[in-house]
Structure 1
Amino acid sequence: MAINDGLSIGALSRRTGLAVSAIRYYEAQGLIKPWRNAGGQRRFERADLRRLSFVMIAQQFGFTLPEIRAQLERLPGGRTPTKSDWANISESFRSALDARINTLTKLRDNLDGCIGCGCLSLDVCALYNPKDRAAEAGQGPRYLMGDTPSGDHGA
């Protein structure tokens, strides 16, 4: 197969490890855009291997398909993305990944203590979150989200 013949959906499936149905789903979601050859068969660019690999990795890090699509739309159309193109996407994901890493670190380090969730089931919650004071800042595990027991929200 010549490079400009593109990849069949089966070849793309074998190379990425994705089921053909998953590739069709990602196509329907606008994450990849195949073209048709003279025989009307769906063909994919070799660059779609990297796009789909990016989708799989980004999903593992908890990014949604709309978030992933927004990043992929930043890639150039009509040419294979360069290392610089991918670096730009990587940089834009960096702050989101850093925030997730910080949250996971807090979760790992504080899950056994009061997280400001309002359950008040641990003895220390009566000290750190009396009468569910954390609820004044909003829903969820407030202390894991950046609020502090002293009421200095967002610290």
Structure 2
Amino acid sequence: MPQIPEKIHELTVGQLSARSGAAPSALHFYETKGLISSRRTTGNQRRYSRDTLRRVAFVRAAQRVGIPLATIRDALAELPEGRTPNHDDWARLSQAWRSELDERIRQLGRLRDHLTDCIGCGCLSLETCVLSNPDDVFGERMSGSRLLAERRRAPK
């Protein structure tokens, strides 16, 4: 990883990309989503403060565990004066996100278990299939392939 001299307080998009491992297009995307910010030079080039490296690391770590960008942006917006997240911030936010992640894990486990049932059954019956017909909402009206045919005929 290229080292940036201490006297350099601002980074180009290329330097930020090289140091953070995020593609320049990802950095531009993060900026449009309000996750990071830059200033423009007189030549209209982006310049990022050095602490943007930590913000990018924070965003990428949160993304890796499945936190949506909007949630990350909201968390960063809560920091005083737009400062860069520190260890304590990560600990607090990750604790808050833990229950959301636990619920997603439970949902994925249920999906995995039901998917195995469908692979073993092979029918994908709309009457009983928990993937095609969660909570058997279609079973109240009719079942099986008749429902599929009705859905195809329905005007759009």
Displacement of 1:26 in angstroms is 1.0
User: How far is 1:13 from its partner?
Assistant: 0.3
Residues 46 and 105 of structure 1: is their aligned pair in 2 closer, same or farther, counting only changes over 3 Å?
farther
- Structure 1 vs Structure 2 CA RMSD: 3.5
Deviation at 1:38, TM superposition (A): 8.7
Counting matched residue pairs gives 130
Provide structure 1 residue ranges, at least 5 long, that are not aligned to the other structure: 115-119, 138-155
AA paired with 1:10? G
- Deviations along 1:11-63, whole A, 9 cap, x unmatched? 11001222212211211111002235798753323332232223233334443
TM-score with structure 1 setting the length: 0.63
* Map of 1:85 onto structure 2: 89
Give 1:97 shift. Answer: 0.9
Residue 144 of structure 1 is matched in structure 2 by: none
Instruction: Give 1 or 2 for the bigger CA radius of gyration.
Output: 2
Structure 1 counterpart of 2:92, one-letter code? N
Matching of residue 29 in structure 1 with residue 33 in structure 2:
yes
TM-score, with length taken from structure 2: 0.62
Q: Which residues of 2 match residues 70-149 of structure 1 at below 5 A?
A: 70-77=74-81, 79-113=83-117, 122=123, 134-136=135-137
SS at match of 2:97: helix
Aligned letter for 1:134? D
Cα gap change, 1:11/1:100 in structure 2, threshold over 3 Å: closer, same or farther? same
Gaps of 5+ in 2: 139-156
Q: What are the Cα deviations for residues 69-109 of structure 1, in whole angstroms up to 9, with x where unaligned?
A: 11221223254433212222111211111111112222333
Shift of 1:123: 8.8
Percent of pairs identical after alignment? 42
The residue type paired with residue 33 of structure 1 is S
